[in-house]
Amino acid sequence: MTNNDIFKKLRVALQLRDDEIVKILELVDFRISKSELGAFFRRDDHPKYMECGDQVLRNFLNGLVIHLRGPMPKKGEKKPQKKE
């Protein structure tokens, strides 16, 4: 399974649009355009297909953690407690 396959499956499972993925990547200061992103989701025999590198997938996963959980508290800060 390639990085492209993993990226596609996460995109479908989490029902993410291209602009949402771009915003998630911006959370970890990784800039990518929608056209570059679209190249990852093409079929591998398409002329504009581009392989997703480890760095892109790693940054997406790190951004996804921040997107879903929120930013990590700084050292010495306590985690905000949920009120019930």
Secondary structure string (H, E, C) spanning 43-65? CCCCCCCCCCCHHHHHHHHHHHH
pTM of the model: 0.80
H helix runs in 14-53, sequence order: 18-26, 34-40
Question: Token pair for residue 4?
Answer: 């492209």
Condensed to tens digits (0 to 9), the pLDDT of residues 65-84 reads 999 988 777 777 666 666 65
Type and span of the H or E element at 13: helix 3-13
Task: Give me the percent of the chain exceeding a pLDDT of 70.
Answer: 90
Domain boundaries, the chain: 3-69
Count, residues in the chain: 84
In this structure, which amino acid lies at residue 4?
Answer: N
